[in-house]
Structure 1
Amino acid sequence: MLPAASLERVPAPTPRAESGGEEDVNAGINAAVEACVEPLNQARTDEPPPQSQPLPSALEIERLAVASAALPALNAAAYEPCVVDLLFGLLCDVARRRQPQVELALRGDPLPTDVPRAVWRRSLQAQGIWFQLLSIAEQSTAMRRRREIEIESGYDRLPASFARVVAEAATAGVRVEEVRSVLQRLKIRPVITAHPTEAKRVTVLEIHRRIYRRLMDLESPRWTPRERRALVSALGNEIELLWMSGELRREKPTVAQEVAWGLHFFGETLFEAVPLLFEKLEDALRQSYPGEHFETPRFFQFGSWIGGDRDGNPFVNNEVMRATLHENRLACLKRYRQRLIELTQTLSITAEAMPVPEAFQKELTRALERSGDGAAIAARNPGELFRQYLTCIQRRLDATLADAQRRGVGEPVEGGYASADELAAELRVIEQALLGTQSTALAGSLVRPLRHEVETFRFCTVQLDLRENTTVTGKTLVALWRAQPGLVNEPGEEPDAEPPAPQSPEWKAWLLAELARPREKDASCDDVLKTLPAVEAETLQIFRTVRDMRKQVDRNAFGAFVLSMTHHATDVLGVYLLAKEAGLFTDAAGVESCTLPVVPLLETIDDLRRAPEILRELLAVPMVRRSIRAQGGVLEIMIGYSDSNKDGGFFASNWELSKAQTKITRVGNELGVSIAFFHGRGGSVSRGGVPAGRAIAALPASSVNGRFRVTEQGEVVSFKYANRGTAQYHVELLASSVLEHTFKSEREDELVPRGEFDEAMEALSGASRATYAKFIEQPDLITYFQAASPLEELSMLNMGSRPARRFGARSMQELRAIPWVFAWAQNRHALTGWYGVGSAIAAFLDVRKERGLDLLRRMFDESRLFRLIIDEVEKTLAQVDLDIARGYANLVPDEAVREAIFAQIEQEHRLTTEMVLKLSGGREVAERFPQFRERLARRLPAINQVGRQQIELLRLYRQAVNDQERRSYLMPLLLSINCIASGFGATG
């Protein structure tokens, strides 16, 4: 068995053989590519040119342009290494011209110890750039591979396509009525969050986007040698801009900058990708159910936490939330304006060429009259009735945009749209007019996509979720209790009585009494706010802001209020009471129903286990049931992958999450309430970041039922949505996976509950959690963790506005899950993705012997959840390097602590590797995942090199005798953290 480090020497896979008489042709192409690429391979091994005589860039560009000429003819297997060599050559060319010593590091040679620190910093930045370029090359290759499958086998053979899912449903006998029923309840919403896991600035993301597009350009065979040289040169310029732009933020980003970062992806790809998604589903339905008509609602929308997530982030307040909502509104309005201008320019149809329906003529007449300038509009576009109507729409939209730019200050601008529904209705008028004149293609390709955009993104782009912690809401409720008449004689005096203990029957009774008590006719939230301390008043003001901003922005401007660390039903009832005090109930008396969904977030394993009890207690309250009915009849519950992992380890977290979903779904069915789950996943495996399709397929049967929400955090957002092709793929992957689970989950053997499988999962989970708990509860673990990782230094990497710890605490309990995972990944322990699994399997086999091994192997083959867990554990083991981890451990000054803890890690790692391979039948870690191994093999040499540098930088930084010396090591240290994160493609 080879250690994980042996992945560095894994050869690239041989390009696949083609069939059908094309073997000789492909052999010739491959030979040509080898001839073109050979100079690049040779350049990697030769000694770099002397510093005084750098290779002229023109020669490098010429050589790379010749090599790139083969790209259009290559299949994906041969394309990827060619693109990788192209990008590597261009990066080396930049390094050679800018700082020749850095090229040594890029080619794998360690820098001399006496090089200036500026060279050290630059070499780390160059390695980070190389990881980014590798990721772009792999995204480009994945897009090419998907196109190959579609060309060779058809669109319905793409694994993530609606065409395949709907065709399989039709073949399996899913009736038309069932399809219609599923479509009516289909609701999918990825939620972009600003968790501090994205190290790249928007400027860098824009360069990445241009590099990706240059690679797409190079795939075309139409370029002359001169044009190809120009394209390669332009690609080199983009890489040089990366070199000069700087990778690290000088200061922590503001919430406003995070909002701009999130909206960046809509302007680049998502405004276009979502309407295309609806078209793909409609096409798939027509193909598989010919002659049937389906209504496809706008089932796919985006949510956001950026500017609304207050949990542990003191920089998000009501003023920031208002500004965020205005920016979200402006983003979509500007988009619609640009699209309307384009549509007006395109629809140059004249009445003489195509008489319009009478209904459209009447609508046009009304629009011209309403504009107040009808004669001038008609005179400017004589006979061009569609342009006249579009001009009227554009003027109304301009008034709406002008009003939005005023941010609710001053008198509203007259003549705008009261809601997005009005704009969508007017676009439908044009669409129907084109359909009425047999211009179906024009209606479908020009107008309908814009209407779908408006119906999807409305006047808010995203639905903003609000999030706060029970600690904060609890303090506000206590302040409300203290503000009751009769408790305080004079303002500022201490009350005569203490509130009931949280979760006590008396506290619940008070909450229910207040929720049932009609509000006095002249009572207002302003009166209540005056009685509260400043912090508590700010919390209550959240709900008042919701009420006010819905009117200013859009009725769908808000998604839900997510309550972090929900422990009991009374925590949720308390939020309903805050909403009532702010006037968010449908009736003036405040006793009927709440208009803002309240979503409990269950994060710890204990809370997940209490979920059925919490749910029963909540649904016993009539007001809660009325609110759920008014909000669409669905109760949403969020489950947290990050904190449950930190709480119980990887295996126990996944099993407890699965059990909780099954039990919650069962209770919902029993009580007649539909349940929807909001999955709080992060980017890394430890925080739920597993392949989306497989993750959804492994969810319990009937737990999806057409409804799915999931967080998209940090680097995951840029990976999925930075480029048009990848964005379209990932939104369809998510939506088609939800649809497939809804159609098939109750019929699939892999998801049918089996008593012996569940019993084994319970035993493994318990043993795994016990081993993990014993490890993390050691008194000296925090000492080890802080010294043997860059945990403390992570807070200086300005990736997000949020502090690294809740409430400024420094204990393990208050450490956020993101830095917990991030730091263990940096020091190559990565134990958040595997620790405890080996001991659990070994203990199970000790008791069950061969029968137990046979059972686990059957589970490996037949249980989706168990297979997913073992697969991801094995991939994580491949990223562990105990030699480098030992280097980090040596930073722990206390030898006894160091040796005791590292010995446990070594033993569990060895055991987990042995047990996983026993189940999978593999000879070495991750041999079952050749593409994963190939990607990792490209990165490990550089990651390992940077890791060793980081160990030394941590030592020097911590031993520095003064602030000036410490500052001199800080920038290269932060660059090393950023570099390793880029190499693995995930942070926390």
Structure 2
Amino acid sequence: MQQKSQQKEKNTKDEFSKYEILKDILLEVIEENDPQVKKVFLSLFESLSGDMQNSAELKALFQEISESEHLVGIIKACSLHNIILNIYEEQEQARIASVSRSIAAAYQALEEEGFDKLDCDKVLESIRFYPVFTAHPTESRRRTFLEAHQEITRELEKIENYFYTPDNVLPNKQREIQQSYDNIKYRLHLLWKSHLVRSEKLEVIFELDNLLFIVENSILPSALRVLNQVSNRLNKPLKISPIKLGSWIGGDRDGNPFVTNELMTRVMKMQHELIINTYINEINKLIRELSISIDFSQLNKDLEKSLQKEKAYLNQTSLKLHEREPYRAKLNLIKLKLQNHLLKVNSINDIDFTYQSPKELLEDIDMLIQSLDNTASKRLKSLRNLVLLGGFHLMQLDFREHRDMYLSAVSEVLCLLGYTDSDFSQRHESKKIEILNQALNDPPTNLNRILWDVSPQTRHTLNAFLRVLWAKKAISKDILKSFIVSMTTQASDLLAVLYLAYCSGLWQRGKIKKSESGETIIKEGKAGVFITPLFETIDDLEHAEEILEILTKNEHYKQYLKDSRNAQQIMIGYSDSSKDGGIFTSNYSLYKAISNLVKLESRLGIQFMLFHGKGGSISRGGGQLESALLAFPAGSVGSTLKTTEQGEIISSRYLNPKIAIRSFALTLASLLKKVAHDYFSIHGTDSSLTKTSQNNTTNQSFEAISQHKVDKYLPKLEELSRISYRSYRSLVYDTPNFIEYFKNATPIEFIQNLNLGSRPSKRKDTQKVEDLRAIPWVFAWTQNRSIMPAWYGLGSALNGFDNRELLQECYNDSIFFKTTIDNITQGFIKVDMEIAEEYNEFVEDFGLRQNVWGKISDEYKKTLEWLLIVRNENNLLEKSPDIRDRILARMPNIKALSLLQLELIKKYKSAKYEDLRMRLMEQIHGTIIGIAQGIRNTG
């Protein structure tokens, strides 16, 4: 082994290759476990890396492999190879992170455009990035594999550092390299011996455990690094964290019966415990470090008073030990208050000497900082930023439920109280609003008093509101902020939730009344939650304006908005709109809806905060977040970007701390540029915003840059959207028995049996596309390699428009159109129509098979032709060679797994007994996971 390591170092003297190192270690592992698998794997890789033609010989080879004893080994070899490709790619991203785009680079770019540094500082202080981590079943890896991924990454970084360290600096260089080499091999060996697929259904609490692992080990320290950078750039303490963390795990119960009130409470407590213990660990370090004596440091008067007031809470040992070390004494008192806060959450009695809010903790930290010099207070300042980031809640939960569940509960309560009969939910919209207005006019009903007078389902909903109220008081007012209404279709959907917030105490209405002397008394209201509509389908997006306009004219909702400081959160769904109308129409409808909401916001005088419900795949709003951000309509971001981070995207963006730092910094940098352009395009510019303001040609609004260029093409984009919509709907909704085709021409049957997440993979057994969940819908088309939802309809639209010069001009000048086309191209290059055609053969109905495949094949050809024309390329992504090479490097592995999957499905369909089917099902699941690793997303 020592000789191999030395030979490896010798062979890589000229060019260090992390990929070659990982590949060599993997081959060693494979050889030691099954030499024949290594031989077949290398042969496959060589064959598929050539012209990629699916010849008869190749088919015969895969049929032979599928029947051999080495089948599982080949699946695992291809899957592990995909994992090391992912690690290598992340390492390359981390390598360029320090020299690529960042907050500093954004400042430089803005200053070159004419923005003044002071104005950039103001924008940087105002922006917020709010990633919300969800447990949608798109992370195909087990935690075992996530941990191995992280450890292999660390060891690979060590090898690179050792490699470039001179021998005289590191005398034991070869031994250190060998140690890291062995550690990587150890991890890969264990993965070889482990199942790729979970054998049990994943519970919600385990989903949280997976997320908390990434949060604790990467997200928190990485976000803190970025906060410290921002604070240093502004050269002053931060007032609010520019990064806020959110989560749906434990709060998202739409379609997930396993998310109970008890589980939600447990999740909130676990998050609270983790962040408080994180602070305690940091304080323990500071207690050891800050041994500063009163003899050498002038004590701040506020700190001195605080110590005198609180020293009785120190035990005698601490009091004597720290009598002349006041900083240690104060830190011990802070630690005690935090420990008491942990006790307070579960205690029925009042706990003395604790914090009521993070603000009080920050005040204590500030007292210490103000009493120390810059050098001595360095780590305290970092702790201060950590508290701004994590609060007492760690991640702010969102509560999401389907509109029908809210309406069902409100209907029963209103019927019980005599406002209506049990047919409330069936009433006309105007009547529902009338009834809700009447109920909201009356004093709120105490929900605790009626809990046992309603059905278990309604009790479950009412209790959820009461649990949230408890958590806001016991843990943190920031523990949960948003009540999201899935599938919002009417104004009454939100008024129903407002009524429950009113009765639970989560909304305390502001009032204006007259005193006996005739003086006007204003009682400020408190809105503890955002009532957030989720507009998902194309139709819902088109009706969003109408719904919001009705609500702002309603006296009760108007008062609620006033109590919310005139802020209205709106969630925009990318998944269902794409399933509903196709990729291009979805993107255009979202762009148009957001543009219209910006205009409505201005007209109504309300501040909209848009929450973008994006998925990992292109067809669900995936792609580069930064480029999507810059393509949003002018004025639509405000100062806050709130977006979901789902499944495998969480690990790809945040598992590696270096990548996490890059992700946070890059998003803030893009947000800085976006908000700066939008703000000054709306408010215009003046002499303070341009270095050459005396030159009239530079003293202009940035509106021409960020808005008018896109507006110029909107009529053309509207036309493209209409053609694309008709083409997509013709296939998916108007083709008879299309669901039958989908169920047979994709491995959806096997995906539904895969233990990916806690949520059921389908709402109900149905023959309607509308009832299919967006994630397994996309996952299935991705696995059959047509990836149809990511591009279908675009080719017909571009072909129907048939004006290459105008389309190329639009691509060059419209940020929205360019971003949409680029994202679709990145998804389209992953398509393998040969594999998809093999899946097509599983459809027994000859007429259906020919009809659907003919449409998909024709649309593919049109899309390929027009993507090349619009992007002015001879080959897809030739102008983005790095992206192209990364994607194509994965294709041999993915093709091998796809061909094996096809053979296994054939065997499964012809299997005569259950034990064989179960064994084949497990093997098919292995190929599904492997392909997902290679393509780097599932749904």
TM-score (norm 1): 0.86
**In the TM superposition, what whole-angstrom CA distance separates every residue of 1:3-29 from its partner, at most 9, and x where no partner exists?**
xxxxxxxxxxxxxxxxxxxxxxxxxxx
2:746 alignment partner in structure 1 = 789
Matched, 1:64 2:8: yes
Secondary structure of 1:341's match?
Answer: helix
Matched, 1:840 2:797: yes
**In the TM superposition, what whole-angstrom CA distance separates every residue of 1:908-934 from its partner, at most 9, and x where no partner exists?**
100111111111211122222211221
Matched, 1:198 2:135: no
Q: CA deviation at 1:512?
A: 1.7
Matched, 1:314 2:257: yes
Partner AA of 2:35 in structure 1:
P
Q: CA deviation at 1:98?
A: 1.2
Secondary structure of 2:844's match?
Answer: coil
Q: CA deviation at 1:614?
A: 1.1
Q: CA deviation at 1:299?
A: 2.6
> What is the distance in 2 between the residues matched to 1:602 and 1:761?
21
Matched, 1:819 2:819: no
> What is the distance in 2 between the residues matched to 1:900 and 1:977?
27
Listed as ranges, the matches of 1:231-630 within 5 Å are 231-285=180-234, 296-369=239-312, 371-373=313-315, 375-404=316-345, 408=346, 410-411=348-349, 413-434=351-372, 439-443=373-377, 445-485=378-418, 498-499=423-424, 501-519=426-444, 523-587=445-509, 594-630=527-563
Q: CA deviation at 1:124?
A: 1.1
Are the equivalent residues in 1 in contact too, given 2:527–2:560 (CA < 8 A)?
A: yes
Q: 1:264 to 1:780 in 2, by over 3 A?
A: same
Q: CA deviation at 1:127?
A: 1.5
> What is the distance in 2 between the residues matched to 1:226 and 1:108?
33
Q: 1:113 to 1:865 in 2, by over 3 A?
A: same
Partner AA of 2:64 in structure 1:
T
Partner AA of 2:852 in structure 1:
I
Q: CA deviation at 1:526?
A: 2.0
Q: 1:604 to 1:188 in 2, by over 3 A?
A: same
2:23 pairs, out of 58, 76, 88, with 88
Listed as ranges, the matches of 1:678-693 within 5 Å are 678-693=611-626
Partner AA of 1:679 in structure 2:
H
2:887 alignment partner in structure 1 = 936
**In the TM superposition, what whole-angstrom CA distance separates every residue of 1:723-767 from its partner, at most 9, and x where no partner exists?**
111111101111221121010133252532555411100000000
Q: 1:630 to 1:118 in 2, by over 3 A?
A: farther
2:56 alignment partner in structure 1 = none
Partner AA of 2:787 in structure 1:
A
Secondary structure of 1:752's match?
Answer: helix
Are the equivalent residues in 1 in contact too, given 2:407–2:425 (CA < 8 A)?
A: no
Q: 1:115 to 1:811 in 2, by over 3 A?
A: closer
Secondary structure of 2:500's match?
Answer: helix
Partner AA of 1:357 in structure 2:
N
Secondary structure of 2:610's match?
Answer: strand
Are the equivalent residues in 2 in contact too, given 1:642–1:688 (CA < 8 A)?
A: yes
Q: 1:113 to 1:356 in 2, by over 3 A?
A: same
Q: CA deviation at 1:164?
A: 2.1
Q: 1:168 to 1:558 in 2, by over 3 A?
A: same
Secondary structure of 1:806's match?
Answer: coil
> What is the distance in 2 between the residues matched to 1:296 and 1:865?
34
Q: CA deviation at 1:619?
A: 1.0
Secondary structure of 1:610's match?
Answer: helix
Secondary structure of 2:371's match?
Answer: helix
Listed as ranges, the matches of 1:898-913 within 5 Å are 898-913=849-864
Q: 1:394 to 1:980 in 2, by over 3 A?
A: same
> What is the distance in 1 between the residues matched to 2:677 and 2:22?
43
Secondary structure of 1:689's match?
Answer: coil
**In the TM superposition, what whole-angstrom CA distance separates every residue of 1:53-77 from its partner, at most 9, and x where no partner exists?**
xxxx555444335456x4xxx7xxx
Partner AA of 2:147 in structure 1:
E
TM-score (norm 2): 0.90
Q: CA deviation at 1:410?
A: 4.7
Matched, 1:101 2:36: yes
Alignment gaps of 5+ in structure 1? 1-56, 150-157, 287-292, 488-494, 846-851
Secondary structure of 1:351's match?
Answer: coil
Partner AA of 1:791 in structure 2:
I
Q: How many residues end up aligned between the 2 structures?
A: 880
Partner AA of 2:663 in structure 1:
H
Partner AA of 1:962 in structure 2:
Y
> What is the distance in 2 between the residues matched to 1:981 and 1:295?
41
> What is the distance in 2 between the residues matched to 1:593 and 1:366?
33
Deviates more, 1:854-863 or 1:974-983: 854-863
Are the equivalent residues in 2 in contact too, given 1:525–1:583 (CA < 8 A)?
A: no
Partner AA of 1:648 in structure 2:
G
> What is the distance in 1 between the residues matched to 2:883 and 2:265?
43
Q: CA deviation at 1:783?
A: 1.0
Alignment gaps of 5+ in structure 2? 45-60, 512-522, 682-701
Q: 1:827 to 1:363 in 2, by over 3 A?
A: same
> What is the distance in 1 between the residues matched to 2:126 and 2:727?
42
Q: CA deviation at 1:402?
A: 4.0
> What is the distance in 2 between the residues matched to 1:350 and 1:833?
64
2:574 pairs, out of 636, 641, 664, with 641
> What is the distance in 2 between the residues matched to 1:808 and 1:335?
45
Q: 1:105 to 1:450 in 2, by over 3 A?
A: farther
Secondary structure of 2:931's match?
Answer: helix
1:720 pairs, out of 639, 650, 653, with 653
1:8 alignment partner in structure 2 = none
> What is the distance in 2 between the residues matched to 1:453 and 1:604?
39
**In the TM superposition, what whole-angstrom CA distance separates every residue of 1:585-612 from its partner, at most 9, and x where no partner exists?**
2159999664211110100001111111
Listed as ranges, the matches of 1:679-828 within 5 Å are 679-745=612-678, 746=681, 747=702, 749=705, 751-752=707-708, 756-777=712-733, 778-807=735-764, 809=766, 811-828=768-785
Are the equivalent residues in 1 in contact too, given 2:218–2:656 (CA < 8 A)?
A: yes
Deviates more, 1:824-833 or 1:538-547: 538-547
1:4 alignment partner in structure 2 = none
> What is the distance in 2 between the residues matched to 1:634 and 1:655?
26
Secondary structure of 2:877's match?
Answer: coil
Deviates more, 1:779-788 or 1:310-319: 779-788
1:27 alignment partner in structure 2 = none
Secondary structure of 1:796's match?
Answer: coil
Q: CA deviation at 1:891?
A: 1.1
Deviates more, 1:253-262 or 1:632-641: 632-641
Q: CA deviation at 1:455?
A: 2.0
> What is the distance in 2 between the residues matched to 1:302 and 1:645?
27
**In the TM superposition, what whole-angstrom CA distance separates every residue of 1:531-563 from its partner, at most 9, and x where no partner exists?**
221112211221111111111211100020111
Are the equivalent residues in 1 in contact too, given 2:580–2:770 (CA < 8 A)?
A: no
Q: CA deviation at 1:345?
A: 1.2
Matched, 1:960 2:882: no
Q: CA deviation at 1:416?
A: 2.9
> What is the distance in 2 between the residues matched to 1:677 and 1:568?
18
1:209 alignment partner in structure 2 = 150
> What is the distance in 2 between the residues matched to 1:172 and 1:949?
54
> What is the distance in 2 between the residues matched to 1:483 and 1:591?
31
> What is the distance in 1 between the residues matched to 2:788 and 2:328?
62
> What is the distance in 1 between the residues matched to 2:322 and 2:314?
16
**In the TM superposition, what whole-angstrom CA distance separates every residue of 1:482-527 from its partner, at most 9, and x where no partner exists?**
223387xxxxxxx6x74363552111111122122223xxx42122
Q: CA deviation at 1:317?
A: 1.1
Q: 1:755 to 1:526 in 2, by over 3 A?
A: closer
> What is the distance in 2 between the residues matched to 1:815 and 1:889?
20
RMSD between aligned residues: 2.3
